[in-house]
Amino acid sequence: MVIVVVAPGQGSQTPGFLSPWLTEPAFADHLAALSDAAGLDLVRHGTESDADTIRDTSVAQPLIVAAGLLTLGALLDGDRAAKLGGIAGHSVGEITAAAGAGVLAEREAMRFVSERGRAMADAASLAPTGMSAVLGGDEQQLLARLAELDLEPANFNGGGQVVVAGALDALEQLKAEPPAGARVVPLQVAGAFHTRYMQPAVEHLAAVAASLAPADPALPLWTNRDGSTVDSGSAFLELLVGQVSSPVRWDLCMASFQEAGVTGIIELAPAGALVGLAKRGLKGVPTVAVKTPDDLPAAIELIEQSA
């Protein structure tokens, strides 16, 4: 059996989603340490902050990575990491995956994601931009329509879902006149992530990355750039910087999972979105979404069965 762990991206957080985790002292202590590394009160944001507060890019991104690291700490206790077939993350989840693979230490991962969140929020403030999910329709027709409107594809999620981004007025035009058979759903995000609008954030993150000390991954690690595995820690760190302004190819990651013979997928907290995509794109592959500590036994059992 080949079990892959996947880490979700921005938008998967909901108010109070970390409350069940903090009833256990070990998780509470771990989150306090991650908060310290991020320079943010992630305990408060994960339990008390409202939806608008945790939608803020500079809060959402560290919060999501911290949740993933909490899950990984419990999931990979002992020798279970050696039983995994690999790890991957969607967008900001790639930072979680980098830590899970040993490319970045947890404190480095939290510092990097804090800088990423702030830099992307700053870049988003420079122009009125946003993102929309396009469901259904022909992909080539969609790409042609995007070119007409000066929009860009941001996430190729598979299963007939492409997230697009750019100027708000152009997104409104796309919604009013979508390609045949497609439906356009505006997303509650602050800007056009994974597009040219994020270039100022790339420049900032390149400087941050230069201060980090990446190690080579200890298990297979897939990249959002093209779904390939990356053997070099420094190369993966470069990809983490570049992906801020380039499309997320989660469709190609799922195709690579299939090619690798993946027989099970475990999604880290705050889980749900990637398992949903897997159910459409990797039909029949067992999945476990770890939303609360109550979901850990099922995920651990899946890993143990792979031994």
Q: Is 194 a catalytic residue?
A: yes
The reported pLDDT for the residue numbered 20 is: 96
Preceding amide of 270 cis, omega within 30: yes
What is the CATH code for 3-124+195-305? 3.40.366.10
Is residue 204 very low, low, confident or very high in pLDDT (cuts 50, 70, 90)?
Answer: very high
CATH topology of domain 129-186: Alpha-Beta Plaits (3.30.70)
Are the C-beta atoms of 38 and 114 separated by less than 8 Å?
yes
pLDDT at 306 over 80: no
The reported pLDDT for the residue numbered 188 is: 82
Percent of the chain with pLDDT over 90: 92
Q: Is 204 a catalytic residue?
A: no
Residue 150: left if φ>0, alpha if ψ -120 to 50, beta else—which one?
A: left
129-186 and 3-124+195-305 share a CATH fold:
no
pLDDT at 307 over 70: no
pLDDT at 192 over 90: yes
Q: 293 by DSSP, 3-state: which? A: helix
Torsion sign, CA atoms 150, 251, 163, 219? negative
Q: What is the average per-residue pLDDT within 160-180?
A: 96
Strand 152-158 and strand 161-167: the pairing is antiparallel
* C-beta atoms surrounding 207 within 10 Å: 11
What residue segments make up the domains of the chain, in order of their start? 3-124+195-305, 129-186
Percent of the chain with pLDDT over 70: 100
Q: pLDDT digit string (tens) for 47-76? A: 999 999 999 999 999 999 999 999 999 998
pLDDT at 11 over 90: no
**Residue 180 contacts by C-beta under 8 Å, 6 or more apart in sequence?**
137, 138, 141
Catalytic residue (choose from 30, 90, 194, 204): 194
In this prediction the pTM is: 0.95
Catalytic residue (choose from 12, 49, 58, 91): 91
- The average confidence (pLDDT) of the chain is 95
The reported pLDDT for the residue numbered 186 is: 94
CA distances from 6 to 103, 122, 124, 262, 281 (A): 16, 28, 27, 12, 14
